[in-house]
């Protein structure tokens, strides 16, 4: 069933009786060629590209809850590719390009909105660092523009540029960045994968791996054993818990990142603004709510809720640059669990166990990476070789000293 | 979260800086045969359990002592707080 304007009109005139479920609810089969663990954005995107781009058959996605019920539904929906390092920038730019064509590709309205992202600067040193970042982006063929305070004021006239501690001296803009309707990403990929024969099996928790002679033969689940030639894990946030079943310890700590939404307001924020020095970023959803957040709480946790000191810190940051937002009331807040890796960058790699593949360590940047993560993980699973844009995301980079440390913080996950 | 400091009593966790797994006390010793791989394991790999976790907290805005806090990562409940110095000595570290 393809969606189109004509179809919407036809259904409107005939009582909406022709719509069918967007995906099936199949029983698990005894064996698959490829099993993806995790029915979030990355897992569903992987299955979609495996079926569509790599022509793989007999694929299943196993999800312990319902699809889109994890981090793909708990983020702040921002897409961008404003990275500095060579190991990252081509990957994230590939992701942004895939976002740009995604809705046509999977015939689903994901409300991709390239409203632009702006990183604020407050000092000469920060201006130098951001000019360097912008130049690195442009060397990779990505759009980047340094804006003056006056140019920023044109778009955000209510922005407080005169804060005594963090006066705003300009900003680095990526006009192709923006936001996406996050749930629709999961639904669009699920529908696209399902229509190409992928079994999406919900309420099916993986409780162990069957590993014999160094080879993974399948997974134990809450719905029985399911055999597989290859198993790909895409459960960022719970990676350490899952991989512990394969006796693996990961270069990852789990941390909580909080997010907040205000009551609905008339359009006030034209794009995404990040105030990194003050631990605050904000955009406005199409429903009108101000969507904002800040830093991770900073301690290991699997509780999908944070604590009050970070709430205070985020709101202080917001009030410093957008004093007017103090009049808006907070509607809801939540926490999502992040795979915080030791260098702030992800892992898409084979494990030492034959037939077992891993995708995780996305820190708080997993949402924007969803399409490229799916494409690169599908490439790895189908061809047993890393995608050219994901060659740096290896497990062994920590032992070999090949870290991709955008912030230069070292092996302290809560500082990335 | 409230951390019940062994010397100072209950303190707001916001006064502390979080370091990580308390196994970081057990730094490999090259003089006892530790290899580069041991340091990789120490520096980069973590158990990261869902449940009880012994972890290092530094009382940065207080008496600047290091604590070993036993905390549940599913509920944020804290069951035990010790001075890291005492823990390290009990494991034969320091004097």
Task: Answer yes or no: is B59 within a domain.
Answer: yes
Q: Which of B83, B74, B90 is nearest to B56 (CA)?
A: B83
What per-residue confidence (pLDDT) applies to A1?
77
Task: Answer yes or no: is B42 within a domain.
Answer: yes
Chains A–B, number of C-beta pairs less than 8 Å apart: 72
What sign does the dihedral A341-A345-A346-A351 (CA atoms) show? Answer: negative
b (16+ CB within 10 A) / e for B45-67: bbebbbeebbbbbbbeeeeeebb
CATH number at residue A392: 3.50.50.60
* Predicted complex ipTM exceeds 0.90: yes
What per-residue confidence (pLDDT) applies to B92?
85
Q: Which of B45, B1, B2 is nearest to B24 (CA)?
A: B45
Arithmetic mean of pLDDT, A311-319? 96
Asked whether residue B95 carries a pLDDT value surpassing 70, the answer given is no
Q: For the segment A49-85, what is each residue's pLDDT rounded down to a tens digit?
A: 999 999 999 999 999 999 999 999 999 999 999 999 9
Tell me the C-alpha distance between A309 and A330, whole Å.
16
Q: Give contacts of A398 with chain B, Cβ < 8 Å.
A: 40, 43-44
Q: Which of A18, A2, A20 is nearest to A10 (CA)?
A: A18
Element (H, E) at A260: strand A252-264
Arithmetic mean of pLDDT, B14-21? 97
Asked whether residue A315 carries a pLDDT value surpassing 70, the answer given is yes
Q: Total domain count for chain A?
A: 2
Asked whether residue A412 carries a pLDDT value surpassing 90, the answer given is yes
- Does residue A244 sit in the same domain as residue A349? yes
- Does residue A264 sit in the same domain as residue A333? yes
Q: Domain residues for B54?
A: 2-90
Interface test with A, best of B46, B56, B71, B75 (most A CBs within 10 A): B46
Residue-level length of chain A: 416
Token readout for A82 is 């404003």
Percent of chain A at pLDDT exceeding 90 = 99
Arithmetic mean of pLDDT, B41-68? 97
Asked whether residue B43 carries a pLDDT value surpassing 70, the answer given is yes
Task: Work out the burial of residue A112: count CB atoms within 10 Å of its CB; fewer than 13 is exposed, 13-18 middle, 19 or more buried.
Answer: middle
Task: Answer yes or no: is B95 within a domain.
Answer: no
pLDDT mean across residues, chain A: 96
- Does residue A224 sit in the same domain as residue A357? yes
Q: Total domain count for chain B?
A: 1
Q: Domain residues for A406?
A: 5-20+27-78+84-93+100-105+182-251+343-415
Asked whether residue A114 carries a pLDDT value surpassing 70, the answer given is yes
A300:B73 CB<8 A:
yes
Q: For the segment A161-172, what is each residue's pLDDT rounded down to a tens digit?
A: 999 899 999 999
Per DSSP, the residues of A378-403 read HHHHHHSS--GGGTT--TTHHHHT--
Residue of B nearest to A341 (CA): B44
Report CA Rg, chain B.
14
CB A98 within 8 A of CB A110: no
Asked whether residue B68 carries a pLDDT value surpassing 90, the answer given is yes
Q: Give contacts of A411 with chain B, Cβ < 8 Å.
A: 43-44
Asked if A240 has any chain B CB less than 8 Å from its own CB, the reply is yes
For residue A154, the 8-state DSSP code is H
B73:A298 CB<8 A:
no
Arithmetic mean of pLDDT, A375-402? 97
Element (H, E) at A274: strand A272-275
Task: Work out the burial of residue A278: count CB atoms within 10 Å of its CB; fewer than 13 is exposed, 13-18 middle, 19 or more buried.
Answer: buried
Token pair 């590709």 in the structure block, residue? A105
Percent of chain A at pLDDT exceeding 70 = 100
Q: For the segment A196-227, what is each residue's pLDDT rounded down to a tens digit?
A: 999 999 999 999 999 999 999 999 999 999 99
- Does residue A154 sit in the same domain as residue A278? yes
Q: Give contacts of B71 with chain A, Cβ < 8 Å.
A: 299
C-alpha pair distances (Å), A67 with each of A37, A204, A385, A413, B1: 11, 11, 28, 28, 32
A301:B46 CB<8 A:
no
Asked if A158 has any chain B CB less than 8 Å from its own CB, the reply is no
Give residue ranges of B with CB < 8 Å to any A CB. Answer: 1, 12-14, 18-21, 37, 40-41, 43-50, 53, 55, 71, 73-76
Q: Give contacts of A254 with chain B, Cβ < 8 Å.
A: 48, 50, 73
Torsional class of A352: left (φ above 0), alpha (ψ -120 to 50), beta (otherwise): alpha
A240:B47 CB<8 A:
yes
* C-alpha distance from A151 to closest chain B C-alpha (Å): 38
- Does residue A322 sit in the same domain as residue A407? no
B18:A302 CB<8 A:
no
Asked if A304 has any chain B CB less than 8 Å from its own CB, the reply is no
Per DSSP, the residues of A282-308 read EEE-TTSEEEEEEEEEEEE---S---H
- Does residue A173 sit in the same domain as residue A257? yes
- Does residue A232 sit in the same domain as residue A355? yes
Task: Answer yes or no: is B52 within a domain.
Answer: yes
């Amino acid at each position: 069933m393809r969606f189109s304007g004509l179809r919407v009109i036809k259904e409107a005139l005939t009582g909406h009786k022709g719509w069918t479920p967007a995906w099936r609810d199949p029983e698990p089969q005894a064996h698959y060629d490829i099993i993806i663990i995790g029915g979030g954005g990355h897992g569903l995107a992987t299955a979609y590209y495996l079926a569509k781009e790599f022509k793989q058959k007999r694929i299943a996605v196993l999800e312990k809850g319902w699809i889109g019920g994890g981090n793909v539904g708990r983020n702040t929906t921002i897409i961008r590719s404003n990275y500095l390092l060579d190991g990252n920038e081509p990957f994230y730019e590939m992701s942004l390009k895939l976002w740009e064509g995604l809705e046509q590709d999977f015939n689903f309205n994901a409300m991709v909105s390239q409203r632009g992202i702006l990183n604020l600067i407050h000092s000469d040193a920060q201006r130098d660092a951001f000019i360097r970042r912008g130049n690195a982006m442009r060397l990779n063929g990505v759009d980047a523009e340094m804006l003056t305070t006056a140019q920023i004021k044109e778009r955000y006239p209510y922005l407080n540029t005169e804060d005594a501690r963090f006066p705003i001296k300009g900003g680095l803009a990526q006009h192709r960045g923006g936001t996406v309707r996050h749930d629709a990403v999961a639904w669009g990929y699920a529908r696209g994968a399902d229509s190409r024969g992928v079994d999406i099996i919900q309420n099916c928790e993986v409780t162990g791996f069957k590993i014999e002679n160094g080879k993974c033969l399948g997974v134990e689940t809450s719905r029985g054993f399911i055999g597989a030639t290859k198993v790909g894990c895409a459960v960022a946030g719970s990676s350490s818990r899952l991989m512990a079943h394969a006796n693996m310890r990961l270069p990852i700590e789990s941390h909580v990142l909080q997010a907040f939404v205000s009551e609905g307001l008339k359009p006030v924020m034209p794009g995404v603004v990040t105030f990194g020095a003050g631990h605050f970023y904000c955009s406005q959803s199409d429903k009108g709510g101000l969507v904002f957040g800040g830093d991770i709480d900073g301690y290991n946790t699997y509780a999908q809720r944070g604590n009050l000191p970070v709430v205070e810190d985020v709101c202080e940051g917001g009030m410093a640059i957008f004093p007017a937002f103090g009049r808006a009331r907070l509607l809801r807040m939540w926490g999502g669990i992040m795979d915080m890796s030791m260098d702030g960058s992800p892992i898409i790699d084979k494990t030492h166990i034959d037939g077992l593949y891993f995708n995780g360590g996305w820190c708080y940047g997993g949402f924007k990476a969803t399409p490229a993560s799916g494409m690169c993980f599908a490439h790895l699973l189908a061809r047993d070789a890393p995608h050219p844009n994901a060659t740096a995301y290896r497990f062994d980079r920590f032992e070999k000293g090949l870290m991709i440390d955008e912030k230069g913080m070292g092996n302290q996950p809560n500082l990335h | 979260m409230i951390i019940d400091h062994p010397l100072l009593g209950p303190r707001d966790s916001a006064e502390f800086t979080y370091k990580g797994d308390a196994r970081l006390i057990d730094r490999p010793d090259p003089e006892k045969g530790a290899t580069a791989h041991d340091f990789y394991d120490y520096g980069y790999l973590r158990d990261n359990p869902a449940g009880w976790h012994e972890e290092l907290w530094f009382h940065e805005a207080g008496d600047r002592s290091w604590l070993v806090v036993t905390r549940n990562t599913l509920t944020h409940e804290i069951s035990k707080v010790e001075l890291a110095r005492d823990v390290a000595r009990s494991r034969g570290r320091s004097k």
